[in-house]
Amino acid sequence: MKGPVAWWNDPWRPPRFLVAITAGYLAWSLLPVLIAVAYSFNNGRSRTTWQGFSFRWYWGDNSLSVWHNAALHTALLQTIKLGVIATLITVPLGTLFAIGIDRWRGRLPAGANFLMLLSFVLPEVLLAVALLFVITTVAVPVQLGTTAQVIGLVTFQVSYPAVLVRARLATIGPQYEEAAMDLGASPLGALRRIILPMLIPAIFASTVLVFADVIDDFVLVRYLSGNAATEPVSVKIYNTARAAPTPALNALATLLLLAALTAVVVGFLVYRYMTRADTTTKDRGIGAFAGEV
């Protein structure tokens, strides 16, 4: 047995300090959420004192539970609706944008690329206020509500797929395409049959990330919401948290968390299935899925 000093100075020791920090960070990061999820099963009205286990706030309570409260349903439905529509528009738009910008030389694409990066880092409230101004002062055929929210969300999120696809394109390199064209394919054909399939991991990663980000977006959807039917869960939580929240809110947030998790797990499984023969992905673990290649 080594003595304590030797144990401390062992050159093969694991990086204890870093492990400690990582463990501490993960606990700090996830514990409050786990506690909030736990209290969603609370039997009483309190969110701070445990009063027993029950499903009261999910379906038990006749007026306040998520199942019985029409306002909470609407919020959940609106969130999922926004998530699906926004993702369906964002991912193709961003992917095509990335492919086009990546190959096109010139100042316009460089400018467009900068604009896209800018939309990535600008605080969301700027875009939300700007779009609110547009809708309320310019006679556009868009009212406050779901359409406006989708437009805002797509604009804000389009950089996600764009950045991920570009990164993947950089890794793939031009050789496959050039080989295809040498063998007689047109550029569009090479794109469709060679490059797009190789981009599937990045496209899927961005789909999942965009969906997860949209369903908990808050600033944009709040400014661009019309009446209460277009307020998603995040706005409901904000409105109610400042007043008199019941654990039904915790239940709602937990359900949303489950929805996001399901989306990610499904996406990951599909990704593994689709890339089972792909040799350009170094590992098929979560790392590649997260878009880092």
Give, as one character, the DSSP assignment of residue 42: B
Nearer to other proteins, 88 or 144 (CB): 144
Residue 127 interacts with other proteins (CB under 8 A): yes or no: yes
Q: Does residue number 6 form part of the binding site for other proteins (CB under 8 A)? A: no
180 binds other proteins (CB under 8 A): no
Check: CB of residue 67 under 8 Å from CB of residue 248. no
What is residue 239's three-state secondary structure?
A: helix
When the beta carbons of 1 and 122 are compared against other proteins, the nearer one is 122
Please report whether residue 144 would count as binding other proteins according to CB under 8 A: yes
Please count the CA atoms within 13 angstroms of the CA of 265 that sit on its side-chain side: 6
For residues 115 and 109, give the distance between their C-alpha atoms in angstroms, rounded to a whole number. 10
**Nearest C-alpha neighbor of 35 from the set 226, 182, 247, 225:** 247
Report how many residues bind other proteins under the rule CB under 8 A.
117
Site string for other proteins, 212-251 (x = CB under 8 A): xx-xx-xx---x--xxxx-x-xx--xxxxxxxxx---xx-
H helices present in 10-123, as ranges: 16-39, 70-103, 107-121
User: Is residue 286 part of the contact set for other proteins (CB under 8 A)?
Assistant: yes
Q: Integer distance in angstroms from the first to the last C-alpha of the chain?
A: 43
What are the residues whose beta carbons fall under 8 Å from the beta carbon of 91, sequence distance 6 or more?
161, 203, 206, 207, 210
**Residues 187 to 216 in contact with other proteins, rule: CB under 8 A:** 187-188, 209, 212-213, 215-216
Does the protein bind other proteins through residue 173 (CB under 8 A)? Answer: no
Stretch that binds other proteins, among 1-9, 91-99, 193-201, 272-280 (CB under 8 A): 91-99
Instruction: Kindly identify the residues of this chain, within the stretch 22-41, that bind other proteins according to CB under 8 A.
Output: 22, 25-26, 28-30, 32-33, 35-36, 39
Of 1 and 33, the one with the shorter C-beta distance to other proteins is 33
278: left (phi over 0), alpha (psi -120 to 50) or beta: beta
In the list 77, 122, 196, 269, the residue contacting other proteins (rule: CB under 8 A) is 122
User: Could you tell me which stretch among 2-10, 152-160, 193-201, 273-281 binds other proteins (CB under 8 A)?
Assistant: 152-160
CA distance 154 to 85: 9
Nearer to other proteins, 50 or 53 (CB): 50
